[in-house]
Structure 1
Amino acid sequence: MDFSEILITKRDGKQEVFSIEKIKNAVTKSFRASSISDSEREMYEISFAVANEIKKPTITVEEIQDLVEKELMRRNPKAAKKYIIYREWRNVERHKKTHMKHIMDGIVSIEKNDVNLSNANMSAHTPAGQMMTFASEVTKDYAEKYLVNPEYTLAHKNGDIHIHDLDYYPTKTTTCIQYDLDDLFEKGFRTKNGSIRTPQSIQSYATLATIVFQTNQNEQHGGQSIPAFDFFMAKGVLKSFQKHLASNITLLYQLEDQSINEQDIKKTVKSLVSSINVPNNEKEELLKALNIQSEVLNIKNLNALIHRSVETTRKDTHQAMEAFIHNLNTMHSRGGNQVVFSSINYGTDSSPEGRMVIQELLAATTEGLGTGEIPVFPIQIFKVKKGVSYSESDYETAISNFEDALSGKIKFESPNFDLLIEACRTTSVALFPNFMFLDAPFNLHEKWRADDPKRYMYETATMGCRTRVFENLHGEKSSLGRGNLSFTSLNLPRLAIEAHQKAENLFPEKDKQGVQEEARKILLSSVRLMSEMIAEQLYDRYQYQRTALARQFPFMMANNIWKGGDALDSNEEVGNTIQSGTLGIGFIGGHNAMVAIYGEGHAINKRAYDTLYDVIQEINKVAEEYKAKYKLNYSVLATPAEGLSGRFTKIDRKKYGVIDGVTDRDYYVNSFHIDVKEHIKVADKIRLEAPFHAITKGGHITYVELDGEAKKNISVILKIVHLMHKENIGYGSINHPVDTCRKCGYKGMIYAECPLCKSENITRMRRITGYLTGDLDSWNSAKQAEEKDRTKHV
């Protein structure tokens, strides 16, 4: 055929006359990219060979490129490989232009799509929210093109892995942090515009905690957490009490026309009074010290003044906790009305001051926001610990007479067990607190002692997002002053789909069970390879993060929020300072993966259950190997997937089609969780999921879904907490419907309309991923579909 008669159909549909020179140029580029010496004659020989394969008058660009690949593979496989990579790169670049335009159009027109709803904590339709979304999409594109190794970029785009927070990759920031507020408050701290002194009242302690939250949120892309909120706030309670007691004593002297130096009284009270529950010996010392020149003060009126001061301090503490909650739900830390992704852990400070903090915090949480709305933040975690906030005998006593236990009529042996009951009551109306179980074997610390005033240093705490930072190769095993560096998740259902397909092709003679066993072997092998790739990708990102200058994180580093940061010069790289952080290898879709191989989920198929356990153990083996290889804190994370659950599913459905129980929904089931549609008892769900907590030390959560209004049966929540503790759950939560009429404020289970005012304008608060709550309207399509499928546990 005469080459001049051949027409090339381009990608935009236009046609042009065939040119041998264009083929030659493409072939030449592939040879040069392979560092292969090229000759003019050889280039033309290949080009003419390709041209001679054309047997029709019109041909597409893609068809010509297929012919070039074929001829290169025959003559020079090395050059062919380079040509294939180059071709794929060009396809990706073309796709990006049209894909990015489509995304930007959706942001501009504020469509209700999964890009705009990717973060339930952000209002993407506001101007600042649009700017944040624009920036997010553009920086993802920049990171993929110029920062991330092409191998990892391709794996991410193809859906083999998901590099979380890719939009923050260029900033070199770490994910999250657990604050040592005691250290921060005792030393004071600096912000951009000035320094902050040590706070002197519970109101100041709570206010400064919100300022720390808000300021540091701008230097990290993930959550901010306080690991021992009760311990850290207790000092503020004592200072407020001392101030009120000194003021009341001064007033008494003034009423008796006695000359007294108020500053001397303040100093005396501060030096002699160590608790709001003033012991008798301290009362005696106080009377002696203050009655040197007068007999105005006696034990009777001193007791009255102490009581009055305690009650005033309680009011202050309640107002401080109320303001703390209100501030964290209204102070925007970023564009798009984003408030701080804040978490607080508490429950084990048994001092009178620490207990007061917990009591008033729970009361303020129950009261809610301005018109009683359920507060989304902070995510609250109550720490359950034997001998402190829990005991089996206390549990039995409470359950045997729960009405008296709930009303405070029973004295328990564990000092904070009554607060655990109050936490259950609060959970029944506000979805928080969740529960952290410090007695689970993997959460124990050999240095923890009940009489240690700083025992919180050795207590596991969690981010509300379930990220767990505890074990440490570079310092004390603790949560304080450390956080996650980054995490990446593997697509477990995809590996299982491919493992089953390979097993069927390789072993056609085997029966169903034989194929499943072969698929299991293939899956374990592929999980190892994918985990190794993720481990290397995390190391690459870590090496990039190390090059950040301390001045990029002026608040976090200069104030030693990330431990060791204050030793750095502002122009010094953070380097080894961040090596105490964790690197998380995550996974999603355990249930879907098991269905892909066994046709059933791990809730009902024992072989599926054992296989999923072995799969996660295989990831653990890789984590341990890379700990040794790079001396870094690798861990396995049961990924909290808000947007990812839908992303992987869409990609896999397009690639493999609709597979029943695997790709037939809009989401993959979270991490190792039992299928949300599975009809299963509460006890069975807890029992089945508990063993996975011990092998996902990067973070995990188990939730149960209750039907009806939990506030009408609070004892059920205590029973569930008891079950979780017994089965060695690490971190657990209890879901139930919380509906509020926006018109009249009625709270309770609301179906189509409010039972009082008949309004259909209802806020439906639900837990999105086991950690974040929010109105259903702010959820992306995948999580909305999951919520609709969730079966109640009985």
Structure 2
Amino acid sequence: MTLLEKRQADGQSTNEILLEEVIGLGRDIIDSLDMDLLRENANLNGESFSGKMSKFGSEYSKWYARSFTMPPQLVKAIKDNVVYVHDLDQYAIGTTNCIFIPFDKLLRQGFNTGNGSVRPPNSIMTAMALTAIIFQSQQNSQYGGVSGSKLDHDLAPYVAKSFAKLFRKGLDYFEEGQAGEDLGEITMSRTDLKERYPRAFRYATKETESETLQAAESLIHNLNTMSSRAGGQIPFTSINYGTCTSPEGQLVIDCLLTATMKGLGSGETPVFPIQIFKCKKGVNQQPGDPNYELFLKAAECSARRLYPNFANLDAPLNLVYYNPADPDTEFATMGCRTRVLGDRFGRNHCSGKGNLSFNTLNLVRLGIQNGTITGLRQAADEEGFYDDLDHYMEIALNGLLHRFRIQGAQKAKASDFMMREGVWEGGETLGPEEQVRELLKHGSLSLGFIGMAECMKAMYGKHHAEDTEVYGKALALVRHMREFCDRKSEELDLNITLFATPAEGLSGKFTKIDSKEFGAIEGVTDREYYTNSFHVPVYYQTGAANKIKLEAPFHDYCNAGAISYVELDGNARSNPAAFVKIIRYALEQNISYFSINHPVDRCSDCGYEGVIGTNCPSCGAHEQEVHIRRLRRVTGYLTGDYQTRFNAAKQAEVRDRVKHL
């Protein structure tokens, strides 16, 4: 019996349910009465006309899925406030979440957006322009993030094309070459050409550097201005780079960092793409490594602009499928933390697949019901907790499987660009009417979790950063969830993975319901939010090294993705050595994916950037007189001013953050 049927059996008609649930919700949207609802997606202006129209469709789609589509047990688990279904509005129509785009293939072969075909590019300027178009086209085929796992490797050939073209032009300019002379493949690493034709080589190098920087600036500007969805939402993009050691690849990395540091038109920090610098021993970690200077520049850029984040290719989890000869086997992320490198069906690389969907478990609720904090029992009921956890993990997983059946039954034409152009590997082999299930099985279905700290507090009176015994119990809990996922992967022959959930819209939802039912329990429900995944609470006083050391072991269990942060006080730009030292320590501790948070404020009056209190230190303008844009990393990515785009729970979390130095 569906939820709708049950409510009808209780005497409510369909029309009464519509009046009760949908019309009231409509008023909240039209009159902007529920700002948290309109700010669920911080990358979208929910108060705009198109944003409200999008929200109408989204909320009705959620209602339809709960009433007519989803398994009743899953609907009840949502009502019990234990399970959360992410992107519920996409459930009934079978959309998938996120993907790593094979840019090398699309740029090499050309592609068709559906409105016209595009030839392969012959320069880096055109290649980066087409990269933005590919990002935008793919964004419309799914609801989550779109990522390039190795953009430096993918774009290097087009730097070479530009260089070769400019070198030949230089030969003509300086009359250094002979007409029709066969020079073979012309690249920036050809020292013989540099010695033989120095002026043409110098000219081509300088012009290629200029063109690549312009192309990088164009890419970043495009990805911050191209709206792809209602509400002015720009594509949720991320790019990974850092390991290509050819002169062309190094130039791509260098120019992306330079363009990011220069900022947008008025010098603003770019919100997208999320940038991830891939750290690898022997490539960019020590003086003498070919890309070491680029690593230092990445740290400088992150200290100025909050990006790039840092992926640790040498962490044990990230070496399982690593093949030095194939950059597509290097660990990469889809922005905030998602990973899909492993595949039980053999596609153990990044490009051409992604995460299909994920559901999140409210660990705090289970901790309250089985713990000591409420005073109902003297000792935590660990057996009862794990029984409840297994029960709800089964329900959450069954929901993912049910959704996968809907996703797999879709025809290839439903995700036209993704399948027709082979963005999802093998999609080009399907006819428009063929179902996509056999291709989607290479993606992942993920169980996520939130509130480890509050769960431990509810169970044992202390969270995992306060007590070594409790820390061991927290680690055992995450291990238990990972073992459940591994076991189900074997039983179901699917990629079931464990996710350290990035809680944006979810952050305050669980808490609001639990605090209403259980009251304000100190250290558990007395704030507006639950702590992200396994993180040490943002309000807990500890040093950067200790926070890193505590969180690092959890990464190895979260094979669907995880990230750790530390918070810096003051202007991070003023102490680059300390910034690099923190990154190095995180890598040494085998944290898989890491970044450093610090305040980046901008005065709209004079353009000053740094740390701004109530008055701009440059022009003296007061925050009530001019807009101070306060940029913060809130859920793994940046979104304009956190005070105007994020929901109340996330704003509260930012206010509570303590500094780790």
What is the identity, as a one-letter code, of the residue corresponding to 2:237?
A: S
Paired residues for 1:641-720 under 5 Å: 641-720=503-582
User: Hey, what does 2:288 align to over in structure 1?
Assistant: 413
Matched, 1:610 2:472: yes
- Aligned partners of 2:321 and 2:348 also within 8 Å: no
- Aligned partners of 2:373 and 2:460 also within 8 Å: no
**Residue 142 of structure 2 is aligned with which of 206, 220, 226?**
220
- The 2-side partners of 1:220 and 1:193 are apart by 18
**Residue 498 of structure 2 is aligned with which of 623, 633, 636?**
636
Matched, 1:573 2:435: yes
- The 1-side partners of 2:586 and 2:38 are apart by 36
- Aligned partners of 1:225 and 1:342 also within 8 Å: yes
What is the identity, as a one-letter code, of the residue corresponding to 2:191?
A: P
**Residue 467 of structure 1 is aligned with which of 338, 341, 350?**
338
What is the identity, as a one-letter code, of the residue corresponding to 1:381?
A: I
What is the identity, as a one-letter code, of the residue corresponding to 1:413?
A: G
Could you give the per-residue CA deviations for residues 692-737 of structure 1, whole angstroms, max 9, x where no partner exists?
0000110100000000000000111111111111100000110000
More helix by share: 1
User: Hey, what does 1:73 align to over in structure 2?
Assistant: none
- The 1-side partners of 2:137 and 2:586 are apart by 36
- The 1-side partners of 2:468 and 2:36 are apart by 36
Counterparts in 2 of 1:596 and 1:502: CA distance versus 1, 3 Å:
closer
- The 2-side partners of 1:688 and 1:91 are apart by 53
- The 2-side partners of 1:96 and 1:609 are apart by 47
* 1:501 to partner: Cα distance: 6.3
Matched, 1:113 2:26: no
User: Hey, what does 2:248 align to over in structure 1?
Assistant: 353
- The 1-side partners of 2:99 and 2:364 are apart by 31
Output the aligned Cα RMSD: 2.2
User: Hey, what does 1:171 align to over in structure 2?
Assistant: 93
- Which runs of 5 or more structure 1 residues have no equivalent in the other structure? 1-32, 34-80, 285-298, 395-411
- The 2-side partners of 1:768 and 1:136 are apart by 23
**Residue 232 of structure 1 is aligned with which of 138, 150, 154?**
154
- Aligned partners of 1:158 and 1:651 also within 8 Å: no
Counterparts in 2 of 1:83 and 1:429: CA distance versus 1, 3 Å:
closer
- The 2-side partners of 1:117 and 1:92 are apart by 29
What is the identity, as a one-letter code, of the residue corresponding to 1:556?
A: M
- The 1-side partners of 2:80 and 2:57 are apart by 22
- Aligned residue for 1:334, secondary structure, equals coil
Paired residues for 1:722-733 under 5 Å: 722-733=584-595
Which moves more between the two structures, 147-156 or 87-96?
87-96
User: Hey, what does 2:300 align to over in structure 1?
Assistant: 425
- Aligned residue for 2:91, secondary structure, equals helix
- The 2-side partners of 1:363 and 1:615 are apart by 43
Counterparts in 2 of 1:619 and 1:97: CA distance versus 1, 3 Å:
farther
* 1:773 to partner: Cα distance: 4.1
**Residue 721 of structure 1 is aligned with which of 578, 583, 597?**
583
- The 2-side partners of 1:246 and 1:372 are apart by 36
User: Hey, what does 2:235 align to over in structure 1?
Assistant: 340
Counterparts in 2 of 1:90 and 1:595: CA distance versus 1, 3 Å:
farther
* 1:356 to partner: Cα distance: 0.5
- The 1-side partners of 2:516 and 2:496 are apart by 33
- Aligned residue for 2:371, secondary structure, equals helix
Counterparts in 2 of 1:418 and 1:135: CA distance versus 1, 3 Å:
same
* 1:520 to partner: Cα distance: 2.5
* 1:84 to partner: Cα distance: 7.8
- The 2-side partners of 1:690 and 1:588 are apart by 17
User: Hey, what does 1:435 align to over in structure 2?
Assistant: 310
- The 2-side partners of 1:737 and 1:316 are apart by 32
TM-score (norm 2): 0.96
Counterparts in 2 of 1:413 and 1:104: CA distance versus 1, 3 Å:
same
Could you give the per-residue CA deviations for residues 680-699 of structure 1, whole angstroms, max 9, x where no partner exists?
10000000000000001101
Paired residues for 1:377-388 under 5 Å: 377-388=272-283
Paired residues for 1:260-659 under 5 Å: 264=180, 268-269=182-183, 271-273=184-186, 275-280=187-192, 282=193, 299=196, 302-390=197-285, 394=286, 412-445=287-320, 448-449=323-324, 452=325, 455-500=326-371, 512=378, 515-516=379-380, 519-659=381-521
What is the identity, as a one-letter code, of the residue corresponding to 1:419?
A: L
What is the identity, as a one-letter code, of the residue corresponding to 1:634?
A: I
Q: Compare CA radii of gyration and give the structure with the larger one.
A: 1
**Residue 104 of structure 2 is aligned with which of 182, 194, 205?**
182
- The 2-side partners of 1:83 and 1:197 are apart by 54
**Residue 632 of structure 2 is aligned with which of 766, 779, 784?**
766
- The 2-side partners of 1:654 and 1:170 are apart by 30
- Aligned partners of 1:465 and 1:772 also within 8 Å: no
* 1:111 to partner: Cα distance: 4.1
- Aligned partners of 1:535 and 1:623 also within 8 Å: no
- Aligned partners of 2:277 and 2:311 also within 8 Å: yes
- The 2-side partners of 1:783 and 1:602 are apart by 22
Counterparts in 2 of 1:92 and 1:537: CA distance versus 1, 3 Å:
farther
* 1:531 to partner: Cα distance: 1.1
- The 1-side partners of 2:34 and 2:241 are apart by 38
* 1:189 to partner: Cα distance: 1.1
- The 1-side partners of 2:95 and 2:274 are apart by 22
Counterparts in 2 of 1:429 and 1:83: CA distance versus 1, 3 Å:
closer
Work out the number of aligned pairs and report it: 656
Larger RCO, structure (CA 8 Å, separation 6 or more): 2
- The 2-side partners of 1:537 and 1:151 are apart by 9
- Which runs of 5 or more structure 2 residues have no equivalent in the other structure? none
- Aligned partners of 2:372 and 2:460 also within 8 Å: no
- Aligned residue for 1:769, secondary structure, equals coil
Counterparts in 2 of 1:89 and 1:789: CA distance versus 1, 3 Å:
farther
Could you give the per-residue CA deviations for residues 252-305 of structure 1, whole angstroms, max 9, x where no partner exists?
33xx9x9x76xx46xx45x332x213222x568xxxxxxxxxxxxxx3xx1121
* 1:112 to partner: Cα distance: 6.1
Counterparts in 2 of 1:306 and 1:618: CA distance versus 1, 3 Å:
same
* 1:88 to partner: Cα distance: 6.4
- Aligned residue for 1:553, secondary structure, equals helix
- Aligned partners of 2:371 and 2:460 also within 8 Å: no
What is the identity, as a one-letter code, of the residue corresponding to 1:554?
A: D
Identity across aligned pairs (percent)?
40
User: Hey, what does 2:656 align to over in structure 1?
Assistant: 789
- Aligned residue for 1:333, secondary structure, equals coil
- The 1-side partners of 2:162 and 2:320 are apart by 33
